[in-house]
């Protein structure tokens, strides 16, 4: 049976059309010359990979964990539709559990339940496309660096008639440097000339230098204070 060529527009087309309409209806303008300081508590979900073998699948072990933290951002309006700026992000995650995982303990492969906690700190800089005046949808792209603090991993094995609670080889507490790329979207509403509230979500991909990659999706409610700085 042949498929009809006159298919209904997909959701991507619909969203694109809505975005174009919104931009046209709102003059695609934001806040030239303004500086904005933003505070945003966030909730996050991290997808943390460890260099251990997932005994069940044979792949590298990946765990999804929830977390929370906050962002503090500072932006400056180059144009009415374009801001540049950066943000500092701190996020802590709950303990990631990889079960079953096979790791080396004193050189011997041991299978068990591996647990480890990760905390992140990131410094990102980028540009924000702002598409509104009072209600402001925005799209943000950023690049930066991050630091990943890893606690000592703990391997537990209570299923083989033994009580094992050790730190595997090479999995002591450590600190790793990441290169970070992020994409954010959101919607802000300007309450008055100084204060703005907003909702935003970010997707961040961190490439570790010597450590496995880390993906984080975060979202939160923001509060911003805006003023005109005297630059010179």
Partner 1 sequence: MISSLSPAGHGALVAGMLGMVAGTSPAAAQPTPATPARPAATIQRSEAEFLVPPQGGAFEAPIHTGEVCILSFAEKLSTQALASSPDFEVKAWGDDGVAIRVVGATAKTTTLALATRSGMVKVNMTLTVVPPDKPAYTLVRFKAVSAEEAFDAQLKDAVAKQVAPLEANLTRLRQNLETTIRDRADGLIADRLLKRNETIALTAHERNDDHVIVHVTRAVLVGDDGYLVFEIENRSRSAYRLAGVRVQAADREVNGPARLTSPTTDRDPSVIGVVPAGAIGRGIVVVRSVDQVLGKPLALTVAGPAGAGAIRLDRGILFR
Minimum CB separation of residue 20 from partner 1 in Å reads 18
Question: Any contact of residue 134 with partner 1 (CB under 8 A)?
Answer: yes
Among positions 16, 18, 20, 27, the unique one binding partner 1 when judged by CB under 8 A: 27
3-state SS string for 112-153: EEEEECEEEEEEEEEEEEECCCCEEEEEEEEEEEEEEEECCC
Residue among 52, 128, 124 at smallest CA distance from 91: 124
Please report the sign of the dihedral spanned by the C-alpha atoms of residue 161, residue 162, residue 165, residue 171.
Answer: negative
Q: Please tell me the distance from the alpha carbon of residue 123 to that of residue 90, in angstroms, as a whole number.
A: 9
Residue 225 lies near partner 1 (rule: CB under 8 A):
no
**x/- contact string, 81-120, with partner 1 (CB under 8 A)?**
----------------------------------------
| Residue 21 near partner 1 by CB under 8 A | no
Distance of CA 122 to the CA centre of its chain: 9
Give the residue with the Cβ less far from partner 1, 64 or 134. Answer: 134
Between CA 6 and CA 92 the distance in angstroms is 49
Stretch binding partner 1 (CB under 8 A), from 10-18, 37-45, 166-174, 224-232: 224-232
**Which range of residues in 27-35, 47-55, 135-143, 202-210 is near partner 1 by CB under 8 A?**
27-35
Binding mask 167-206 for partner 1 (x = CB under 8 A): -----------------------x-xx-------------
- Residue 228 lies near partner 1 (rule: CB under 8 A): yes
Q: Which residues pair with 207 in a beta bridge?
A: 179
Q: How far apart are CA 91 and CA 48, in angstroms?
A: 13
- Among residues 21, 33, 135, 175, the one that binds partner 1 under rule CB under 8 A: 33
Contact (Cβ atoms closer than 8 angstroms) between residue 89 and residue 122: yes
Q: Which residues bind partner 1 (CB under 8 A)?
A: 27, 29, 33-34, 80, 133-134, 190, 192-193, 228, 230-232
């Amino acid at each position: 049976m042949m498929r009809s060529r006159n298919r209904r527009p997909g959701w991507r087309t619909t969203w694109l059309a809505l975005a174009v309409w919104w931009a046209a209806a709102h003059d695609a303008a934001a806040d030239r010359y303004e500086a904005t300081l933003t505070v945003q508590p966030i909730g996050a979900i991290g997808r943390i990979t460890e260099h251990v073998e997932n005994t069940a699948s044979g792949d590298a072990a990946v765990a999804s964990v929830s977390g929370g933290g906050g962002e503090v951002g500072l932006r400056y309006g180059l144009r009415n539709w374009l801001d540049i700026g950066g943000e500092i992000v701190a996020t802590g995650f709950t303990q990631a559990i990889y079960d079953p995982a096979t790791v080396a303990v004193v050189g011997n492969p041991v299978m068990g339940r591996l647990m480890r906690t990760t905390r992140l700190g990131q410094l990102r800089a980028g540009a924000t496309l702002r598409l509104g005046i009072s209600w402001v949808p925005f799209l943000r792209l950023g690049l930066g660096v991050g630091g990943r603090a890893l606690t000592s991993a703990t391997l537990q094995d209570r299923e083989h008639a033994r009580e094992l609670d050790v730190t595997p080889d090479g999995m002591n507490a450590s600190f790793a440097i990441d290169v970070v790329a992020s994409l954010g979207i959101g919607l802000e509403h300007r309450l008055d000339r100084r204060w703005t509230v907003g909702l935003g979500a970010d997707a961040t991909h961190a490439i570790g230098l010597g450590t496995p990659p880390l993906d984080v999706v975060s979202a939160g409610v923001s509060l911003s204070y805006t003023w005109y700085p005297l630059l010179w």
